[in-house]
Structure 1
Amino acid sequence: MKMESPDDIDLTVAAAQFAALGSEQRLAVLRCLVRAGPAGLSIGTLGERTGITGSTLTHHMKILASAGLVAQKRQGRSIICAAVAFNDVQRLSGFLLTECCADAAGKKGDQDNG
């Protein structure tokens, strides 16, 4: 599987994923699922760990799933939620970090003129 570099990231996809993470509660959900690893957590356990339950958790999971960051699957009588886009999260982080100060290198004179 080819690993995309941060420079290859589609800005539309990145914007949608950043938007999905633009909520403190959704970020808490994703963080909890990333910590749980590929096995994921039941929706009940996820709710207990994040303090987000019911329709609010369903709403946040729908947004994260639409952005391709998490997935849900039925396992017997339980719904298992898991972070599925570990590479995407790394790419998003790399995108920000590689762009950081990219235009500042070697432009000390430009800063003095401000």
Structure 2
Amino acid sequence: MEKEDALRALAALGQETRLDVFRLLVKAGKEGMPAGAISDVLGVRPNTLSTHLSALSRSGLVHAERDGRSIHYRADLSVMGALTTYLLQDCCGGNPELCAPIMSMLNGRDRQETGRC
């Protein structure tokens, strides 16, 4: 990931509604959600949601696919993975063992939320 791509993704996530949309789409998984359902769940007006979805789409964090008369949105976890890698690629000055607490927090949270290792 290039610096400009990282800045675009961080800017997209740096707004409350867009962060909520992205997190909702992550929870929705591969199936994603139609725009109307996102609007209903988050209580965001459709025209306002459209603006936020456009910003997320431009950043690459969300992809849209037409499904008949509606548009279905999905989170692109590969872009989020690339962003995380970009942010942590030089983790702890070349001492990856110092990043172990971050990894154990993530692993512990995964087990708590899903009940699996």
TM-score normalised over the length of structure 2:
0.71
**Aligned partner (choices 26, 38, 51) of residue 46 of structure 1:** 38
How do 1:1-114 residues align onto structure 2 when only pairs under 5 Å count?
9-83=1-75, 85-102=76-93
Long gaps (5+) in structure 1: 1-8, 105-114
Identity %: 37
**Larger radius of gyration, structure 1 or 2?**
1
Question: How far is the alpha carbon of 1:44 from its aligned partner?
Answer: 1.1
Larger helix proportion of the pair = 2
**Partner SS, residue 37 of structure 1:** helix
Distance 1:102 1:59, change over 3 A: same
Root-mean-square deviation (CA, aligned residues, Å) is 2.0
Question: How far is the alpha carbon of 1:53 from its aligned partner?
Answer: 2.3
Contact 2:39–2:45 (8 Å) recurs in 1: yes
Long gaps (5+) in structure 2: 96-117
* Alpha-carbon displacement from aligned partner over 1:13-34 (angstroms, at most 9, x marks no partner): 1111111111011010011011
Structure 1 counterpart of 2:93, one-letter code: A
Structure 1 counterpart of 2:19, one-letter code: L
Identify which of structures 1 and 2 has the higher relative contact order when contacts are C-alpha pairs closer than 8 Å and 6+ apart.
1
TM-score normalised over the length of structure 1:
0.73
Structure 1 counterpart of 2:2, one-letter code: D
